[in-house]
Structure 1
Amino acid sequence: MTTRSATMIEKNRPFSPFEFMVAWRYLRARREEAFISVIAALTLTGIAIGVATLIVVTSVMNGFRAELLDKILGLNGHFTVFPIEEQFEDYNDVVLRMEEVDGVTSVVAFAEGQALASGVGQSTGVSVRGMALSDIQKLPSLPNAAILGGFDGWDDSRGVAIGIRLAQKLGVSIGDPVTIITPDGVVTPFGTTPQIRSYPVTVIFELGMVEFDSFFVFMPLQQGQDYYQLYRDVLKDGQEPLPLDATDEQIDAAYERIYRVSALEVFLDDPDATTAMRDPLQLVAGRPMIFTDWQRRNETFFSALQVERVVMFVILSMIVLVAVFNIISSLVMLVKEKNADIAVLRTIGATRASIMRIFCMTGTAIGVAGTLIGLVVGLVVAANAENLRAWISDTIGIALFPPEVFFLSELPSKTDPVEVTFVVAMALILSFLASLYPAWRAAQYDPVEALRYG
């Protein structure tokens, strides 16, 4: 037996079958080494939990950012363009010129203002946006978000579209009237009177983002222009001024109404190309314009999200780090327990490098097993994050991730293969590094001293 072992050691090479065999024997639990085996199992579990937690948290935060970005840019453009100095009456020409620029997907015009919406005994502040059907169909999210009613015949409907949460707050449904109130009404000798009008609800939509579903009211473009008085009446060409006693029919026939809009939304092929696209769009606009991109509008929010993501990753990495440190303690105890075995191996010809590789493989195997288990568990949980959230919420009766706080009605998850690879590589490298010191200590044992006092 001794001769055979010596032959195996003499012919061994780095990570030889002999070293794998000894490392595997040290990993198997025996009755007298139960305490060491328990520590190794707890270490493996800790690494698995840490890796799984990192994968789940990064996936949820990636999904959260991607979903928010998709919702925000599904209704608001990559650029919001406001006119300077002159009233925005030539918006149709500007839209056509901008849509011809390479990299521009679409451009939509809208009339917007703030108002108070009232339903059945409830009132709330809203943003009222007038848009033509042709522009609504250019939006990525809104056309397919209708859950009650529809946008057919929208321009002539004289109704409004509201979000599902706003409809619930106001207590209205399809066909019910919603009263829109704005303080900027008709100017009279006694001051400005509020503008109060009622519109039937023709569409109820659900975009999946609480802010949009509870704050926006859409109406046909001309209806919004009339409501916010975004127009001016001018005499038609060749028309003589009317007498003071002219009838309403004469006034309507003599004057032409010229409409304007509040701003434009510009949608790009590449959301990150705003810097490169700003100058070409400004050039074709043909007039001074203010361009506000989505990154600037949401800079604080997405910066805070990025900081939170990095901080969470660092904090959760500590779980893996603590578990990896347990590899050191379990291997140190294993080395103390196996000092006599080490002496025998050295006596029959095992080199210090061979002993070091044996214990490195033992510690690294714990890390590899824990990492693989954590990888599988993390990917499964990340893929079913929303189902698990709903099940836990129903089980304990408490709303986890309430949409009023987290903006989204569902818990999103998006697994990034690069980040998963980084997490796995980090766990494996830390496991290997944690095995080096105990393995080096084992290789330094003097076989004579170990046999004398072992």
Structure 2
Amino acid sequence: MDEGPEASHREAPMTRAAPFAAFEFLIAWRYLRAKRAEGGVSAMTWISLIGIALAVAALIIVLAVRSGFRTEFVDAILGANAHVTVYEQRFDGPSGRFDYRIEEFEALTAQVQAVPGVTRAAPLIRGQVMGTANDQNHGVIVFGITLEDLKTIPNVAGSERSQGDIDDFSQGVAIGSGVAKALRLAIGDRIKLISPNGVRTAFGTSPRVKSYTVSYIFTAGHYNIDQTRLYLPFEEAQSFFNKEGFADQIEVFVDAPEQAEVMARKLREAAGESAVVETWRDYAGGFLRALAVEDNVMLVIMIVLILLSTMNIISGLIMLVKNKGRDIGILRTIGLSEGTVLRVFFLCGAGIGLVGTLLGVIVGVVFVVNIDAIFSLVNYLSGGQVWDPSIRGIYHLPSELRGVDVLNAVGISLFLSFFITIFPARRAARMNPVEALRNE
């Protein structure tokens, strides 16, 4: 049945556009690149973008340096120190004191070596003495060890900046590069060791003084180790410290240093009731905990920095909404929904955050990859006083670029950028089109 001419004038039902349609991206792009004469905020867009990029780059650099510093510190500690140390503690009734000597050190070393997961176990003599040479004095910590065991210490035997031949250790001593520098020693020079617990005489105990030839100089990578460490052949150390026939401790290396606490329980069971077991975390744990606290504080500061940078997006979008009030009214009157307007302005803010984050990742990664060259330049321009190894313990600024750190920085930046954008976008979407056109 013909419905007459009215049918030709009947309005077709309005079709709702799909979210994030192409025209929404086109409108958002036009608003972002608008010129000042058109009421745009291109200057604010650039400020927001650069601010986010710098904040993301700073976060990536901080995370990379944090990871590198911890890795470098732990490697330096584990590469020159025992992962687990075994002592013996017995109460001596007649003297009323505890006796820490390990008399059956060979048997105890064999018991410890048999524990699954132990890669090496070695008896040690340890003592503190005064080293002197060339009219210079310097306190050193002496470790009595055999040549075979010394060769198994990675950062000592495998030192890239070593001097001399480690095979000559049995004819002399091995010293850290810091000790050599403090006493002005080179290979073949003599170092005099002075111990207050020396020879017992009828008139008391006189200091023991003996000279040794420097046969090997190493750089372990940790300032405190290089500055104080001296290795002496095991039997010679027993004689020098009046400890013939026993050892002070058993140093143990394991195949999983991060699981040293688990290994400590097994070693305590194998060593017996009188054994006292310490891990590398016991003497380095305080520094690691302080480093973890500093890491968390720096992470919070960097997140706040990104948040402050994303605040520029809010101010820019608020200005954009104010300047585009007439446009919003026209868009609403021709049929665009609140959701469409919201998505347009959300795309404006999200686009700034996305591009800024991408630029920040590029800048941060390039900086971390070239951090040695950049730091060398800064150190040169400042006169070489930027990095003091005596305070930081290591000789250079380390960095370790990890994918998870980059993803964390990207995730934090994008989340804050997208979240911040919602509020001015909702304000634009809820604007009354009639009021917007009337005000224009």
Normalised by the length of structure 2, the TM-score is 0.91
Aligned partner of 2:5 in structure 1 is none
Pair 1:209 & 2:214 matched: no
Amino acid at match of 1:82: Y
CA shift, 1:209, in A, is 1.1
Greater Cα offset, 276-285 or 31-40: 31-40
SS of alignment partner, residue 167 of structure 2: coil
Does structure 2 retain, via aligned residues, the 8 Å contact 1:180–1:196? yes
Q: Can you give the 5+ residue segments of structure 1 that lack an aligned partner in the other structure?
A: 1-6, 232-258
CA shift, 1:387, in A, is 2.0
CA shift, 1:15, in A, is 0.6
Does structure 1 retain, via aligned residues, the 8 Å contact 2:40–2:320? no
SS of alignment partner, residue 194 of structure 1: strand
Determine the C-alpha separation between the residues in 2 that align with 1:195 and 1:402. Answer: 35
1:195-245 Cα deviation digits (max 9, x unpaired) = 1111111111111211011110111111111111111xxxxxxxxxxxxxx
CA shift, 1:277, in A, is 1.9
SS of alignment partner, residue 426 of structure 1: helix
Determine the C-alpha separation between the residues in 1 that align with 2:296 and 2:18. Answer: 43
Amino acid at match of 1:128: V
Instruction: Using the aligned pairs only, state the percent identity.
Output: 37
Work out which of the residue numbers 394, 399, 420 in structure 1 matches 2:406: 420
Pair 1:283 & 2:296 matched: no
Work out which of the residue numbers 144, 149, 152 in structure 1 matches 2:164: 149
Aligned partner of 1:111 in structure 2 is 125
Amino acid at match of 1:359: F
Pair 1:312 & 2:298 matched: yes
Determine the C-alpha separation between the residues in 2 that align with 1:116 and 1:35. Answer: 74
Aligned partner of 1:70 in structure 2 is 75
Determine the C-alpha separation between the residues in 2 that align with 1:383 and 1:191. Answer: 62
RMSD: 1.7
Pair 1:79 & 2:92 matched: no
Determine the C-alpha separation between the residues in 1 that align with 2:48 and 2:246. Answer: 68
Work out which of the residue numbers 92, 95, 101 in structure 1 matches 2:115: 101
Does structure 2 retain, via aligned residues, the 8 Å contact 1:177–1:198? yes
Q: Can you give the 5+ residue segments of structure 2 that lack an aligned partner in the other structure?
A: 1-11, 91-98
Does structure 1 retain, via aligned residues, the 8 Å contact 2:112–2:121? yes
Amino acid at match of 2:63: T
Pairing 1:47-196 to 2, within 5 Å after superposition: 47-85=52-90, 87-145=101-159, 147-155=162-170, 157=171, 159-196=172-209
Determine the C-alpha separation between the residues in 1 that align with 2:89 and 2:269. Answer: 14
Amino acid at match of 2:336: A
Determine the C-alpha separation between the residues in 2 that align with 1:228 and 1:149. Answer: 26
Greater Cα offset, 394-403 or 288-297: 394-403
Amino acid at match of 1:151: I
Determine the C-alpha separation between the residues in 1 that align with 2:362 and 2:110. Answer: 52
Equivalent pairs, count: 418
Aligned partner of 2:213 in structure 1 is 200
Determine the C-alpha separation between the residues in 2 that align with 1:98 and 1:73. Answer: 19
Aligned partner of 2:339 in structure 1 is 353
Q: 1:34 to 1:162 in 2, by over 3 A?
A: farther
Does structure 1 retain, via aligned residues, the 8 Å contact 2:195–2:208? yes
Determine the C-alpha separation between the residues in 2 that align with 1:33 and 1:47. Answer: 25
Amino acid at match of 1:213: D
Q: 1:400 to 1:313 in 2, by over 3 A?
A: same
Amino acid at match of 1:116: M
Determine the C-alpha separation between the residues in 2 that align with 1:394 and 1:76. Answer: 33
Does structure 1 retain, via aligned residues, the 8 Å contact 2:41–2:319? yes
SS of alignment partner, residue 185 of structure 1: strand
CA shift, 1:399, in A, is 2.2
1:49-108 Cα deviation digits (max 9, x unpaired) = 111111111111111111111111111112111112263132222222222211212112
Aligned partner of 1:445 in structure 2 is 431
Amino acid at match of 2:107: D
